[in-house]
Amino acid sequence: MQANRRNFLKLTGLLGLGFTGSGITKGYADAKDAYTAYEKSSYSQTFNMSGYAAPKLDKVRIGFIGLGNRGPAAVKRMAHIEGVDIKGLCDLRPEKVDAVRKQLASVPGFKPDVYTSQPEAWKKMCERPDIDLIYICTPWALHTPMAVFAMEHGKHVCVEVPAAKTVDECWQLVKTSERTRRHCMILENCCYDFFELLTLNMARQGFFGDIIHCEGAYIHDLLEGNFSKDKYWEMWRLKENVRHGNLYPTHGLGPVSQIMDLNRGDKMEYLTSMSGNDFMMGKMAKELAATDPFYQPYVGKSFRGNMNTTTIRTNKGRTIMIQHDVTSPRPYSRIHTVSGTKATAQKYPLPERIAIGDNWATAEEYKALTEKFEPAITRQIGEMARKFGGHGGMDFLMDWRTIDCLRNGLPLDIDVYDAALWSVIGPLSEWSVAHRSNSIDVPDFTGGSWKTNQPVDITLAKGGTTKII
């Protein structure tokens, strides 16, 4: 078994690298065998983090790592939430840290220390005893190493999506969170969008009946952005796109996982995944390199296909379809379809719609339903969240709710098992794509506790005492 475990670690590490030729897929049957054996016979939960309420924090002292794309806005949002103290700002680039520090200068009460210029400066911030929460907004490959280190040093963690790139990294997050009893929350902001919260509340109240099938996606034309010299540090996101699978599953998957009570009454059993060819990225690399030598290293790379479709079956016999396409010229969509025995909801293409039977509700009927089922959390701070922004307010809702739970000693809405489950779709989809869409089992990161874990209901806004300033 130990030999299988070592092989598993080595082989699943390849899943994070992407497939650049047929030779790298040789031996993946061994990886699957080792993974299956490890999953079924070796894991025993040491502490159940589902529903775990850490001791109350009157003041949540935060250190931020990564101030390039998502980080600055997160700092700005947190500065408007009661009970927050921003203690540290970290980025490898001094100019990024300086920009955020200047941004904070107009807000009284914050004097964060800065950590920059050194590749491991973030570790010094994590080692500080006067920080409670580390908020990670770095490139994907750094998410798990930073989250694990922070938890090892007594910090709760909020980490951007995906939380992990490999199966083994998912297990690292789970085991470290259980052992340290520190929260590891994946920053899946789409769980806090208004229609997603509405449909979650409707599902909790039985409006849809039994949930049969859900769909989610990340369909977003990022072709030019991925090739931009300025948008992503050292072109890290373009480099990720040599992996063939669903690289970014959590925006569509997170909200429907909560609606289906995954990890809390149901679990994923197995998935299959299929990708088409790349019709655009390789062509763009070649065109750009014709006039700019900077792009020459990207010519001839085996970029992931335009569209990936991954399907999942749960223990209760329900199904999920998740799609990923970030290069085709298509309108933005996360799909967000909820299909039940009594009713259906769908967000994209806009406008959002709800149907009882096979006809969509009229405008008047839809308004009545939204008024009846509006969740307490959006009634309480929805307008303020829209004011402070972040993808229409869902980012602010996410941050406010996280701080409010920590200050009131409540379980977080999204725990480490969610972080691992939603992220593992990436590497497992890569395996399936490499094997002609064969199925692969999905790990049970809860160690069987999914059978008794209780849903955490975001919509009730328990706690709710934290003010917006």
Say how far apart CA 187 and CA 136 lie, in whole Å.
Answer: 9
- Per-residue confidence (pLDDT) for residue 32, from 0 to 100: 56
Q: Which residues contact 64 (CB under 8 A, 6 or more apart)?
A: 71, 74, 75, 86, 88, 89, 90, 100, 134, 135, 137
User: Strand 343-346 relative to strand 337-340: parallel, antiparallel, unpaired?
Assistant: antiparallel
Is-above-0.85 flag for pTM? yes
- Per-residue confidence (pLDDT) for residue 4, from 0 to 100: 36
What SS3 state is found at 267? coil
Under a CB-based contact definition with an 8 Å cutoff, are residues 289 and 228 in contact?
A: no
Under a CB-based contact definition with an 8 Å cutoff, are residues 244 and 434 in contact?
A: yes
Two structure tokens written together for 419:
């972080």
Largest Cα–Cα distance in the chain? 63
Give me the count of residues in the chain: 469
Under a CB-based contact definition with an 8 Å cutoff, are residues 273 and 15 in contact?
A: no
Residue 295 — φ and ψ, nearest 5°? -90, 0
- Per-residue confidence (pLDDT) for residue 466, from 0 to 100: 96
**Runs of H (alpha helix) within 127-183:** 143-152, 167-180
Under a CB-based contact definition with an 8 Å cutoff, are residues 301 and 280 in contact?
A: no
Residue 406 — φ and ψ, nearest 5°? -65, -35
Q: Which residues contact 405 (CB under 8 A, 6 or more apart)?
A: 411, 412, 413, 463
Two structure tokens written together for 368:
């009545």
Cα–Cα distance list, 82 to 60, 403, 437 (Å): 9, 9, 49
- Cα 334 to chain centroid, rounded: 14
User: Strand 337-340 relative to strand 113-116: parallel, antiparallel, unpaired?
Assistant: unpaired
Residues β-bridged to residue 61:
85
Say how far apart CA 239 and CA 298 lie, in whole Å.
Answer: 9
Contacts within 8 Å (CB) and 24+ apart, 168-172: 168/8, 168/9, 168/12, 168/13, 169/16, 169/144, 169/423, 170/419, 170/420, 170/421, 170/423, 170/424, 170/443, 170/445, 171/43, 171/420, 171/443, 171/445, 172/144, 172/148
Which segments within 177-235 are labelled E, that is strand? 184-186, 211-219
- Per-residue confidence (pLDDT) for residue 106, from 0 to 100: 86
Say how far apart CA 101 and CA 117 lie, in whole Å.
Answer: 15
Give, for all 469 residues of the chain, the pLDDT tens digit.
333 333 333 333 333 333 233 222 333 344 455 455 445 556 889 999 999 999 999 999 999 999 999 999 999 999 999 999 999 999 999 999 999 999 998 888 999 999 999 999 999 999 999 999 999 999 999 999 999 999 999 999 999 999 999 999 999 999 999 999 999 999 999 999 999 999 999 999 999 999 999 999 999 999 999 999 999 999 999 999 999 999 999 999 999 999 999 999 999 999 999 999 999 999 999 999 999 999 999 999 999 999 999 999 999 999 999 999 999 999 999 999 999 999 999 999 999 999 999 999 999 999 999 999 999 999 999 999 999 989 999 999 999 999 999 999 999 999 999 999 999 999 999 999 999 999 999 999 999 999 999 998 888 888 999 999 9
**Strand-by-strand arrangement of the 84-91 sheet:** 113-116, 84-91, 60-65, 133-136, 156-159, 184-186
Domains located in the chain, CATH noted: 2-41 (no CATH), 60-187 (3.40.50.720), 190-359+415-454 (3.30.360.10)
Nearest to 61 by CA among 151, 160, 135, 142: 135
